[in-house]
Amino acid sequence: MRTPTPDTDPTIDNAPLRRTRRIAALDVLRGFALCGILLVNLPPMFGLSSVDANDAVYPLYALSQDFVQNRFFPIFSFLFGIGFGIMWLSADRRSTKPRLALLRRFLFLGVLGAGHMLLQPGEALLPYSITALVVLLPATFIPARFLPAITSAAGGILLLGAIATGGGLTIIPGLFLLGFAVGYTDLVRRALAHPGLLAVVGGVAAAISVAGLMLTDFQTRQIDQWINAGLGITMALTYVVIIMLLMLTPAKAVLEALLAPLGRMALSNYVGATLLLVAAHALVPDLSAYDDQGGYLAGLVLSGVILLIQIVVSAIWLRFFTQGPLEKLWRIVTWGPSRANG
């Protein structure tokens, strides 16, 4: 006989379920990260060059390298780990075999990523799937009392090693584990309850970022990739703190209206953005013909149009459904049809 759970027995305390209630700031951050990832994915899909006919770097390209490239991908990766940590808190109440359910979840992500890679060679879903299977799933065997400390320490060490070797996809394991610890300990809610401490963390990260940009030039940052990787992490943290602090101000209403729908449908919008880019490339194959910035200005406008479409479509979709289409399918594959709405 199956043990009663809060879902089937109202006499059981529902406090743990309240702890995993959706956090609006995380949806906003996911939407924010998607905006930056779109800006990063567009140039390679359109074959935009980084230099003009005189081998001079396009200013908009340089700006994107310093403020977008490797700045939003860490946020997205960290959020993936946080989401997993939150999910693991209630996994044993959703399934009698939670690790098998999560195995299905990551395998589905891998299959989706393999198909997505045919359209977007630089896509992240397949690396996420592999890393989750190799790093996150085994981490669930760590005893609960030691899990936050071990995953934090291991994540920090792996992240430092990744930065030292130039970053890229190697940052995923460390950020996954750090995010796992944050999600598992409900640190996001606690951080939002202490804005002063949050501001200090953001201030330190911002100071390091500014110092790094001032003490190095663009060419150095491109050659010594460990510098760029390190700045990517500190700037990503700065962005995260700014968004979280804004969520404690009247700006919260605007951020939720614009970015939360994107974030709630992050998987659908991530794949959907690629489909829109492919369609746009078929209609307008040469963006460089529309400006003197190598197509980067036109790409910025195109990205804005795509994001506007996705914001509107996501908001309308969520008026009628609780999840995006891919999110719904992902949940069914993970937990089964009977638990898909739980």
Spatial separation of the C-alpha atoms in residues 269 and 206, rounded to whole Å: 29
Using the CB atoms, write b or e for 210-246: b if 16+ within 10 Å: eebbeebeeeebbeebebbbbbbbbbbbbbbbbbbbe
- For 241-274, the DSSP string reads HHHHHHTTSTHHHHHHHHHHHHHHTHHHHHHHHH
Asked if residues 33 and 4 have their Cβ atoms less than 8 Å apart, the reply is no
Q: How confident is the model at residue 16 (pLDDT cuts 50, 70, 90)?
A: very low
Spatial separation of the C-alpha atoms in residues 164 and 241, rounded to whole Å: 24
Spatial separation of the C-alpha atoms in residues 77 and 177, rounded to whole Å: 10
Q: How far is CA 309 from the centre of its chain?
A: 20
Average pLDDT over residues 307-336: 96
**85 pLDDT exceeds 90?**
yes
Spatial separation of the C-alpha atoms in residues 313 and 309, rounded to whole Å: 6
**342 pLDDT exceeds 60?**
no
147: amino acid identity, one letter: L
Q: What Å distances lie between residue 151 and 35, 111, 144, 179, 201, CA to CA?
A: 29, 27, 11, 9, 20
Collect contacts of 287-290 with beta carbons under 8 A, ≥24 apart.
287/46, 287/48, 288/48, 288/49
Spatial separation of the C-alpha atoms in residues 277 and 62, rounded to whole Å: 22
Q: How confident is the model at residue 337 (pLDDT cuts 50, 70, 90)?
A: confident
Q: How confident is the model at residue 3 (pLDDT cuts 50, 70, 90)?
A: very low
Instruction: Tell me the per-residue pLDDT of 206-246, one tens digit each, with 9 for 90 and over.
Output: 999 999 999 999 999 999 999 999 999 999 999 999 999 99
Q: How confident is the model at residue 14 (pLDDT cuts 50, 70, 90)?
A: very low
Alpha helix segments (H runs only) across 124-250: 125-131, 137-139, 147-164, 171-184, 187-192, 195-215, 218-223, 225-246
Position with higher pLDDT, 18 vs 293: 293
Spatial separation of the C-alpha atoms in residues 211 and 207, rounded to whole Å: 6
Average pLDDT over residues 269-273: 97
Mean pLDDT, all residues of the chain: 91
Nearest CA to 147 out of 181, 114, 194 is that of 181
**12 pLDDT exceeds 80?**
no
Position with higher pLDDT, 40 vs 338: 40
Q: How confident is the model at residue 18 (pLDDT cuts 50, 70, 90)?
A: very low
For residue 94, the model assigns a pLDDT of 87
Angle value at C-alpha 41, between 226 and 204, nearest 5 degrees: 40
For residue 341, the model assigns a pLDDT of 60
Instruction: Tell me the per-residue pLDDT of 34-54, one tens digit each, with 9 for 90 and over.
Output: 999 999 999 999 999 999 888
**189 pLDDT exceeds 90?**
yes
Instruction: Tell me the per-residue pLDDT of 88-134, one tens digit each, with 9 for 90 and over.
Output: 998 988 889 999 999 999 999 999 999 999 999 889 999 999 999 99
Measure CA of the first residue to CA of the last residue in the chain; give whole Å.
21
**What phi-psi label fits residue 168: left (phi over 0), alpha (psi between -120 and 50 degrees) or beta?**
left
Instruction: Tell me the per-residue pLDDT of 240-263, one tens digit each, with 9 for 90 and over.
Output: 999 999 999 999 999 999 999 999
**Domain boundaries, given as residue ranges, for the chain:** 19-335
Phi, psi of 79 (to 5 degrees): -65, -35
